[in-house]
Amino acid sequence: MPGGWKNSTRRSRLPPNWRALRAAAHRRNPGHLCHICGRPGGDALDHKQAGDNHSLDNLDWAHDQMPPYCHRYKSAAEGNAARPSARRPPERHPGLLDPPTERN
């Protein structure tokens, strides 16, 4: 299953203090407000910036096993973005105003 954990090294790449990080993230946000949708009940500690930055600043709760499944959608999108076919720059919306010209 694409985006699944079956062949992922993700779990083994978690730091040895992962449990302490989870506990700290829980203390900081005891209602587990989902950082994606803003509603309570997030059940997964998400890396807000995908990768191996396990600092508490980069960790927050998101819905994974329960609706609206914010974390699953985010992870799937990250997986798709990592695929070579998806590595072209996003097209600019044709209705956007021209960006301001950069100085320097």
Site for Zn ion, rule CB under 5 A = 34, 36-37, 63, 70
Q: Is 12 helix (H, G, I), strand (E, B) or coil?
A: helix
Q: Is 47 helix (H, G, I), strand (E, B) or coil?
A: strand
Closest distance between Zn ion and the C-beta of residue 76, in Å? 14
Structure tokens at 6: 């079956």
Helical residues (DSSP H) of 1-104, grouped into ranges: 18-28, 70-82
Q: Nearest residue to Zn ion, using CB?
A: 34
Closest distance between Zn ion and the C-beta of residue 41, in Å? 8
Residue closer to Zn ion, measured from CB, 16 or 38: 38
Task: Give the residue among 79, 11, 6 at the shortest CA–CA distance from 45.
Answer: 11
Residue closer to Zn ion, measured from CB, 77 or 86: 77
Closest distance between Zn ion and the C-beta of residue 33, in Å? 9
